[in-house]
Amino acid sequence: MSVKVKICGITSPDQADIAQSAGTDALGLVFYPPSPRNVNIGDAKNIRKNIHSNCLCVALLVNANVTLVNKVIKELKPDLLQFHGNESPRFCHQFKYPFIRAVRMEQGLDLNSILRSYRPQGGFLFDSWDDAKFGGTGASFDWTLLPEERDFFLILAGGLLPTNVTKAVSMVRPDMVDVSSGVELSPGIKDPELVAQFIKRAKSA
């Protein structure tokens, strides 16, 4: 079975259509105001209408408060939440809603402790560490830090491009790859050609 692909940072219904036409398996909507890919609830609901039943809708949140998380769940009804900040296991589990736990690969990170502490139905997403940004950095990390033996759904993110995704899939053997800035003309505006190339190369790796 080929790797699944998630296109993150979708900002309009047209962008959702572009990614789905190319064969993506999941779309990520960002609820984080500092991000240039941030969407509000109203915009997200319009995008949600264009997401097909065979494509997952993922709502990405960064250190959001309980009120916002509950609002996203109630009004958007995403297939998965994605906690991409410093959220504790207790915070993530309290909503009793399927989620992805993002792990930013900071130097000295106790990865085994994190893997034991969370029970994300959507798996763990591994992304690059940046002191100032929570994802969307365009930078990769040392893939050899990831465990070769695992019993969880692994999503690889961080610095992936059409030019390196084949190598990433062959080396890491992830269940899913996640890309945002690597297929963009500008933040939040996906390039149809780059999206198509990325998905084709990921799935053929």
- The residues annotated with a catalytic role in the active site are 8, 127
> Using an 8 Å Cβ cutoff, are 54 and 103 in contact?
no
Handedness of CA 113, 114, 116, 117 (dihedral sign): positive
Q: Sign of dihedral through CA atoms 74, 80, 86, 90? A: positive
- Cα angle 57, 83, 42 (rounded to 5 degrees) comes to 45
User: Using alpha carbons only, what angle is made at residue 23 by residues 42 and 125, rounded to the nearest 5 degrees?
Assistant: 70
DSSP class of 38: B
Give the pair of three-digit tokens for residue 126. 């591994």
The backbone torsions φ and ψ at residue 43, rounded to the nearest 5 degrees and listed phi first, read -65, -40
Instruction: Give me 10's structure tokens.
Output: 């979708």
Q: How far is CA 100 from CA 13, 25, 89, 97, 186, in A?
A: 23, 15, 12, 10, 26
